[in-house]
Structure 1
Amino acid sequence: MFATGIIARLVQPCPTCGPPPTVVNPRQARDFARATGRLAKTDALDAQIIAQFAERIRPEPRPIADAESQS
């Protein structure tokens, strides 16, 4: 249902784009979707669930590791 793995490497902070990006454990988001009874496999529904997860759970933004520490 949710992207994993490479996503953390693709997320880059954008100082003019609003709140900092937050990478969460996909299991948390999936468990949230399961709890709401919405496990459909479409991008549109996934986006809605992720947005609701972020709105209701408010995960803490974590600093993104620099390129050197990710290698």
Structure 2
Amino acid sequence: MKNYVPSYMESARFFIFLQLLFNTIQFIVKIVAARWTFFTFLIKEMFPIVEYRLSLKDPIIEV
């Protein structure tokens, strides 16, 4: 005699697994985005001359 509870539990387990997978994917994407902003900040801090020239490009051309 088969019981209905195991199939329901399997489906619930599957949905919980999908939710955990989605949460981990979101977490990884957030970490990658944070590291990307951090690396761009490091590049801007390491090479301030490039940022300075880019910010002063138009006034130099006008003068």
- TM-score, with length taken from structure 2: 0.30
Q: Which of structures 1 and 2 has the larger relative contact order (alpha carbons within 8 angstroms, sep 6+)?
A: 1
- Bigger-Rg structure (1/2): 2
When normalised by structure 1's length, the TM-score is: 0.27
Higher helix share: 2
